[in-house]
Chains A and B, each alone.
Chain A
């Protein structure tokens, strides 16, 4: 019973946070709503006994990533209310609303109709089929075994992926038109 209540409260926080991200016209408030949503997700992780993930959720997502978002928002100076009265494409907003509502009905319908009798995929607030892999061991051990065992390839590929993304981002944003290009990179300006 407690599980269900905690689930409901955390779920509400997640939903409210998500709505806040979309509905706030001020990007700073949107980012802060995102933090609330992340905290809700962290509680849901705790409910599934994924304590390590809950911690990571707060430290990495709520802590690091959203702070980065806020930095970007404030550095770019877009922390002002945008004029949302202009509709670039006529009928776009109505269309978007309808499509969103249709998707919501579709998803909720799918979830509720799938309940069945065994309840494995129903919305009950009980633990999912993916329980802790091994009850006798802490989550973090299991995660480590899994990450460096079966998923080591994906793990290493992710490392490469992050490097590539950094290299590409640096190349794309560096100001090649500037006169002093040849200072830090001799020869490039010749071409």
Chain B
């Protein structure tokens, strides 16, 4: 019997319908993947000559992939691929847009930083693009396997990039800590997911939701739900799973820190929101109190530690922890508010968009300032008004926004979270809103402290030579300032409230 004959036999025996793929729905990922391959080839052929075109080339890839996101958004139809395992709706599209634009801004932040240092920068951009690809897949994933693979695809490049300053021990520590903690979290999450699969017998979230609802609340389901959520809690650095964040943020190359603090965290939230609202609509009595405790702890402890920081990157790291607390707050009442958690999900997505703009902006200022001061201490920002008025104004916009002062975007984000919490008209929601309000006041203290340094304090050592801000950073600052102000002043955030029917499996 020849091999060909055997193959013939097999082909006849297995009925196989190749899955129909809606290429328009899949276009953002397809373009980004193809472009990443192109960047790899250009790097391979051009070697050293191609090096300086890498950031531009990668940036163009992100922008090209945004085009189909816009056409799909205009189209407005909810598209479902792979028997409901991959759904492209407005919720997914808003997030894909967010990830691609954040990726573009991170490329802008990295351009000068990478060119100045002794790094392998072609590989840096390729890994960055792959990580963003993982995030865009995550936005659409409605299936445990796809979610897990997307999570690894976005995390593994990030682990590697955190250690990219190879000769710096702090960067090695950053990469190692991030990887070990990340793997630990993945293991816990996989255990939860395997329990979910064991109970439901299917990996699609919509099917799991049906099965879980008929099973009622069993201790096993509680375990499964909590373990799965804990995995993502590590990713978004929620207290008490946040310990890796400050060390990793401080040691990693600063543009990458911005990426971790914004895009990577947003992707973790996306997975959390998708799983909780889609797969656990019937487990609210278990998930909601858990999220309440997680959210209250995260915002309070994050803020308290942030106040004591003297290094700006560590302060932004802890402030990011605290912000994660506000972002996850709507999940503590998701079943009690409009349309089965859709309004909670919508508040979270809008918060993520505004948070990304203001936090990336703050990091852009830190990177620009560090080119002169060579220091990450908050005191080194003293007197910046005199020699860098533009940077000072931009930073003030971001800090006010992070603190939630109108008319900056951060205000709108917080307002949406508070309104969801209060809409629930439950004791849980109201008390969490109170905790968040107290924390907002606490947070204003350390955000405004940085602003005070910049506006009123003298420059350390009286050094008032100007800061040279490279054009790529100017572009990044322009994008983030405009996004922060525009969302706050006009209230312009994407409306994703038609996120529903298919995504929620009913």
Q: Which residues of A contact B (CB under 8 A)?
A: 106-107, 109-111, 113-114, 116, 120-121, 128-130, 137, 141, 144-145, 148-154, 157-158, 160-161, 164-165, 167-169, 171-172, 176-177, 185-188, 191
What residues of B have a CB within 8 angstroms of the CB of A145 in the complex?
14-16
Stretch at the interface among B143-151, B344-352, B399-407: B143-151
25 contacts between A and B (CB under 8 A): A111-B219, A113-B219, A114-B220, A120-B199, A121-B215, A121-B220, A141-B14, A144-B14, A144-B16, A148-B18, A149-B17, A149-B18, A150-B85, A154-B143, A154-B146, A157-B134, A158-B149, A160-B153, A161-B149, A168-B123, A172-B160, A172-B163, A172-B175, A177-B167, A191-B117
With both chains docked as a complex, state the minimum distance between the C-beta of A110 and any C-beta of chain B, in angstroms: 4
Q: Is the interface of A mostly helix, strand, loop or mixed?
A: helix
| B82: contacting residue among A114, A152, A187, CB under 8 A | A152
Contacting pair B163 A186 (CB below 8 A): no
What residues of B have a CB within 8 angstroms of the CB of A113 in the complex?
218-220
Docked pose: A185 CA to B407 CA in angstroms? 52
**Given A109-B219, A158-B149; 15 other pairs, CB 8 A cutoff:** A110-B222, A113-B220, A114-B219, A121-B220, A128-B198, A129-B201, A130-B201, A141-B13, A148-B16, A148-B18, A154-B146, A169-B160, A176-B166, A185-B47, A187-B48
What residues of A have a CB within 8 angstroms of the CB of B75 in the complex?
none
* Residue B86 CB within 8 A of the other chain: yes
CB closest residue in chain B, given A167: B123
B7-45 interface mask toward A, CB cutoff 8 Å, 1 = contact, 0 = none? Answer: 000000111111100000000000001000000000000
* Residue B126 CB within 8 A of the other chain: yes
Contacting pair B149 A107 (CB below 8 A): no
What residues of A have a CB within 8 angstroms of the CB of B153 in the complex?
157, 160-161, 164
Docked pose: A187 CA to B46 CA in angstroms? 12
Docked pose: A157 CA to B18 CA in angstroms? 18
* Residue B290 CB within 8 A of the other chain: no
With both chains docked as a complex, state the minimum distance between the C-beta of B31 and any C-beta of chain A, in angstroms: 14
With both chains docked as a complex, state the minimum distance between the C-beta of B326 and any C-beta of chain A, in angstroms: 29
* Residue B152 CB within 8 A of the other chain: yes
Q: How large is the interface on B (under 10, 10 to 19, 20 to 34, 35 or more residues)?
A: 35 or more
| B127: contacting residue among A137, A149, A168, CB under 8 A | A168
What residues of B have a CB within 8 angstroms of the CB of A169 in the complex?
160
What residues of A have a CB within 8 angstroms of the CB of B197 in the complex?
130
Contacting pair A121 B166 (CB below 8 A): no
Docked pose: A137 CA to B10 CA in angstroms? 12
Ranked 10 nearest A-B pairs via Cβ: A168-B160, A114-B220, A187-B48, A110-B219, A154-B149, A129-B201, A110-B223, A114-B218, A113-B219, A157-B149
What residues of A have a CB within 8 angstroms of the CB of B199 in the complex?
120-121, 129
Docked pose: A105 CA to B12 CA in angstroms? 52
CB closest residue in chain A, given B146: A154
Q: Which residues of B contact A (CB under 8 A)?
A: 13-19, 33, 47-48, 81-83, 85-86, 117-118, 120, 123, 126-127, 130, 133-134, 137, 143, 145-146, 148-150, 152-153, 156-157, 159-161, 163, 166-167, 175, 197-201, 215, 218-223
Q: Are A129 and B14 also in contact (CB < 8 A) when A150-B82, A151-B85, A164-B157 are?
A: no
| A172: contacting residue among B81, B86, B166, CB under 8 A | B166
Docked pose: A148 CA to B19 CA in angstroms? 8
What residues of B have a CB within 8 angstroms of the CB of A164 in the complex?
126-127, 130, 153, 156-157, 160
With both chains docked as a complex, state the minimum distance between the C-beta of B9 and any C-beta of chain A, in angstroms: 12
What residues of A have a CB within 8 angstroms of the CB of B15 in the complex?
145
What residues of A have a CB within 8 angstroms of the CB of B167 in the complex?
176-177
Docked pose: A150 CA to B80 CA in angstroms? 12
What residues of B have a CB within 8 angstroms of the CB of A149 in the complex?
16-19, 82
| A191: contacting residue among B19, B118, B152, B200, CB under 8 A | B118
Docked pose: A137 CA to B223 CA in angstroms? 34
Most buried by B among A113, A157, A165, A186: A157
Contacting pair B123 A171 (CB below 8 A): yes
CB closest residue in chain A, given B19: A149
Docked pose: A141 CA to B133 CA in angstroms? 30
CB closest residue in chain B, given A177: B167
| A168: contacting residue among B133, B157, B218, B219, CB under 8 A | B157
CB closest residue in chain B, given A130: B201
What residues of B have a CB within 8 angstroms of the CB of A150 in the complex?
19, 82-83, 85, 143
Docked pose: A177 CA to B168 CA in angstroms? 12
With both chains docked as a complex, state the minimum distance between the C-beta of B90 and any C-beta of chain A, in angstroms: 20
What residues of B have a CB within 8 angstroms of the CB of A130 in the complex?
197-198, 201
What residues of A have a CB within 8 angstroms of the CB of B161 in the complex?
168
Docked pose: A54 CA to B166 CA in angstroms? 41
